[in-house]
Amino acid sequence: MKKISGLYSAPKGHWVGDGFPVRSLFSYDSMGRHVSPFLLLDYAGPAEFEPSDTPRGVGRHPHRGFETVTIVYAGEVAHQDSTGAGGVIGPGDVQWMTAGAGIIHEEFHSPEFTRRGGPLEMVQLWVNLPARDKRATPGYQHLAKTDIPVVELPGGAGHLRVIAGEYLGHRGPARTFTPVDVWDLKLKAGANVELTVPDGHTLALVVLHGLIRANGSQPVREAQMALYHREGSTFSIAADSDASVLLLAGEPIDEPIAGYGPFVMNTKDEIREAIEDFNSGRFEAAATT
C-alpha cells in the first residue's frame, strides 16, 4: 500500500491575467523534487463572470522546457499560439500544449462565454520535460471530451476519465514524453475504490469538490492535495460525499530544475539563454520549424 507523505492546502488565491482567479496547489519552487514530473497546478474558480463585451484572460506570453495541460470543467477557453494552433475548449475538453524549444500563446474566455457569462472552473497543470526533450518541437493537442475514455468504477462507485496514461486497458488520448497518468474521477458518496499506479511513481490526489479519505483514513477536502511516497503501487479512496478528484501520477524526472517564470530548464545558463532567445524573436522561429 502506498503511504501518504503529506497533505497540502491551497493558499490564498491570486489572479492570472484578468480572466483566471486561481489557487496554486503546488509549484516547482517549493515542491519540485517531490511532485516530479509535475511542476505546478493552478485551480481556477469556481468563479462567476458577468456578461462582457471584452474578453478576459492572458495575452501573449512565452514558455519553454515543459508542457501545459488545461482541463475545463465549466466555461470556455480560447487558445492561440505561435505554431498557428488554436481553438476553443469547453466542459470536459482538454488542451495539452508542448512548449518545448519555445512557444508564445494566449488564453482568453471564448467569445461566446464572454458574451453570456457564467461559471468558470478549470485546472492548469505544468508537466516537466526531461533534458533530452526540452528543445522538442512545440506542439498542441486538442483532446475533445468525446475522445477521452470514460470507465465505470467497480460497484457503482462512480467513473474515471483517462486523459493520459492507462486504466484497465483504456488508454487516454494524450501523447506524453514520459510515463504519466492523468485521471479525472467522479465518486459517489459512500464509494470505496482501490487503484494502482506503477511502483516508484509520484502520486498526488487533488480534491476539487467533496470530501474523501485517502487510504481510508486521511481526510482530504476541496482544494487540498494528498501526496504519496513513491514506494508501493496500490492505494484506496473512500468518498464521504459526492467528490471530484484529479489523480496525477508519473515517472519522476530526477534532474535539476532551474525555473524563472514561464521558463523551466535544468541550469541557470539555460534560463538566461531562454530569456535572450525570447527577446531576440527566436521563439517564433522555433514554433514554425
pLDDT given for residue 282 in this prediction? 82
For the chain, the first-to-last Cα distance in angstroms comes to: 46
Q: What is the CA angle 49-55-59, rounded to 5? A: 120
Phi, psi of 175 (to 5 degrees): -90, 125
Cis peptide before 173 (omega within 30 of 0): no
- pLDDT for 188 equals 98
Residue type for position 96: W
Instruction: Measure the CA–CA gap between 205 and 224, rounded to whole angstroms.
Output: 8
Number of other CB atoms surrounding residue 134 within 10 Å? 22
Please, what's the b/e burial string for 167-195 (b: 16 or more CB within 10 A of its CB; e: otherwise)?
A: beeeebbbebbeebbbbbbbbbeebbbeb
Distance CA(218)–CA(227), nearest Å, equals 11
Residue 105: exposure state from Cβ atoms within 10 A (0-12, 13-18, ≥19)? buried
Residue 10: name the closest of 43, 50, 55 by CA. Answer: 43
* Adjacent-strand bridge partners of 167: 170
CA of residue 85 relative to chain centroid, distance? 19
Q: How far is CA 199 from CA 124, 204, 230, 245, in A?
A: 26, 14, 7, 21
Pairing of strands 86-89, 118-128: unpaired
pLDDT in tens, the chain (289 residues): 999 999 999 999 999 999 999 999 999 998 888 999 999 999 999 999 999 999 999 999 999 999 999 999 999 999 999 999 999 999 999 999 999 999 999 999 999 999 999 999 999 999 999 999 999 999 999 999 999 999 999 999 999 999 999 999 999 999 999 999 999 999 999 999 999 999 999 999 999 999 999 999 999 999 999 999 999 999 999 999 999 999 999 999 999 999 999 999 999 999 999 999 999 988 875 545 5
Question: What pLDDT sits at residue 289?
Answer: 52
Report the predicted TM-score, pTM, of the whole model to 2 decimal places. 0.95
Please state whether 232 falls in left (phi above 0), alpha (psi between -120 and 50) or beta. Answer: left
Only one residue has cell 525570447, namely 278
Q: How far apart, in whole angstroms, are the C-alpha atoms of residue 233 and residue 96?
A: 26
**pLDDT of amino acid 30:** 85
